[in-house]
Amino acid sequence: MGTRSRIGIELPDHSVVSSYCHWDGYPSGNGRILVKHYQDREAVKALIDGGSMSSLRTRNTWDCGAMLKDADGEYIRDKDGYLMSEGDRDPQPQYHSERGEDLEVLHSSFDVFCDDICGEEFAYLYSLSGEWKCWKLECKPIKESGRITTGHDTTLRNWYTTPERTEIPA
């Protein structure tokens, strides 16, 4: 089971364009990767333009071969700790478009960005000031909150999302 996240960039009109990421969405996973490898608007735009992804940073492709092992039978990792396999590549996002899927979402505001989710547990936003921000998203019953939400499928219509600001570890 993945720790799902949404990665967005704030536009000058304060709308947000974002992509879904299935694996490693927690702050010590994708949060650290975003801070380390996506440090300017152009890099963030390119990341999000790729659409939804399985993994933010991996060596694997959708058609990767067997995992590589050394003479002792231990899995081989690169200098950054990524497992290596036959036919892999330099670490990069593993986009769903590489297997024929595509998705890009434009949100009208930050509140819509956090509320219009598909089970994501964390939301990351590259702000206009060039800072990565993170929120933990929790779904809570309307009965406990008194709030009403729209746009969720019928199985989630009795829930709304509460964003809680979270720090990205160094």
Residue 12 falls within a domain, yes or no? yes
Domain extent, residue 97, equals: 5-53+91-166
Residue 78 falls within a domain, yes or no? no
Q: How many domains does the chain have?
A: 1
Residue 74 falls within a domain, yes or no? no
The letter for the amino acid at 39 is Q
Residue 152 falls within a domain, yes or no? yes
Whats the size of the chain, residue-wise? 170
Residue 59 falls within a domain, yes or no? no
Residue 79 falls within a domain, yes or no? no
User: Averaged in consecutive runs of 10 residues, what is the pLDDT profile of the chain (170 residues)?
Assistant: 86 90 90 93 92 82 81 90 79 79 72 72 93 83 48 42 75
Residue 103 falls within a domain, yes or no? yes
Residue 85 falls within a domain, yes or no? no
